Structure 1
């Protein structure tokens, strides 16, 4: 879906009576130039299953009409055991042809797993050495994609009275190399009634935007050391949501699936972008 130009592409519905669809993921193969959708299925309603079936569907302008049917999904077999046995998963960004995910067991971080859309297989990436003891609660960790590098945000609830809790951002400067993980941001947590969940984006001037549970969007200016709450949509009730970075694009979905298959959004509000504000923040 491209909300800027109100276009979307219908996805073929599952046709497996004995399986539940657990999740979807969208990716792109830089080798073939094709967009692909991956889905996870299980005989159980939950991820906690000994076997998670993986299927993939290709979005292409060369699709034949009969390929819109549910049999257009190709089976890739079952996900690796460590993925199936993980009791909690945190979805991450698409980078270098792969969709990333944090895996946890018993509520604690275990590993970084990714699905490669080029060779259509799973692989694992090294994590920062700080997390090698697997004692970090995965709920204190999240992904970020900053300066085209894979990052992990970490809420460190230190018992040190001098240091106190902090929000740390680790960046993998050389993709796939364990020793390239460095801590690039460490921000003291001054919001005792809430929790810093994750980094949303990082501007070139060093200003960091973070997702603050119960309060929305928060910015931190490293030059002044000051925080600022950013006005967002005002919720009428206390609910849980997610804030993600969005880059506006005028690329039509016709270029992906062909003119016959894309559709227009006839209902709903268009997304409005404050261009002046966007340019000011980007500079």
Structure 2
């Protein structure tokens, strides 16, 4: 965040002043502008590996305060990563939710503050793995998986060409590499090549790559990651 957003609201608790905003090791955030022109931040807590389900929270810039939101009626857990931001498309944030070992996409409309569900690709649903996630690629909802089977590690990417239509999931990338520990799609070039962040077992190498190999225009480094974004034409300062 920048100082354009001012200070978060504080409250008194047991005589001590504390910020209402806190981020845990499994917190994932998303920032967007709703239909009324108000900036909002959504915070979702992950609990994929146990622990109680924690209600999501939302911050509105106009009110300068945080509040809890209602829970999804079916979701028993959220699969989110503190390393990433919530995927945003069609006026809604998206992340992976699960119920009774069934994974699906949870959506949360930022203007109306209502939940929705979107099915994952059939092939992902059949995988015996938790290494699945979603992002936005070329303006479309994107799902990807990192699997390991009989000594082969496979990174696969799908995009949903027609939003919220299960039949429109289309596989656009599949890479087999025995040393590929994890990969995340970041951008799709005009020629169809996909830029992805990857962690390699060989030499513990972490860098950006495409199907053709390392992408040398971006720096290498253990903590390098990246986000694709579109700059807003509305300054948050105008809303304070």
**Same fold per TM (> 0.5)?**
yes
Change (3 A) 1:196 1:35: same
Match of 2:8 among 9, 12, 16: 12
Q: What is the SS of the residue equivalent to 1:49?
A: coil
Aligned twin of 1:117: 110
Counterpart check, 1:33 vs 2:37? yes
* TM-score, structure 2 normalization: 0.74
d(CA) in 2 for partners of 1:217 and 1:244? 12
Tell me, yes or no, if the aligned pair for 1:87 and 1:105 is still in contact at 8 Å. no
Larger radius of gyration: 1
* TM-score, structure 1 normalization: 0.64
Structure with the larger strand share:
2
| Structure 2, unpaired ranges of 5+ | 15-19, 200-204
Q: Which aligned pairs between 1:41-80 and structure 2 lie closer than 5 A?
A: 48-50=51-53, 52-60=54-62, 67-68=63-64, 72-77=65-70, 79-80=71-72
Aligned twin of 1:218: 209
Deviation at 1:118, TM superposition (A): 1.9
Aligned twin of 1:200: 186
Aligned twin of 1:186: 174
Q: How many residues align?
A: 222
CA offsets 1:62-111 (integer angstroms, 9 cap, x no match): xxxxx44xxx334433x12544x3264345411111111113579x7622
Aligned twin of 1:172: 160
Higher relative contact order (CA 8 A, sep 6+): 1
Deviation at 1:59, TM superposition (A): 2.2
d(CA) in 2 for partners of 1:110 and 1:33? 33
d(CA) in 1 for partners of 2:217 and 2:164? 37
CA offsets 1:175-196 (integer angstroms, 9 cap, x no match): 111111111222333xx33324
Over the aligned positions, Cα root-mean-square deviation in angstroms equals: 3.5
Match of 1:242 among 225, 228, 240: 225
CA offsets 1:181-237 (integer angstroms, 9 cap, x no match): 111222333xx33324210100111121111114211122xxxxx2234354454xx
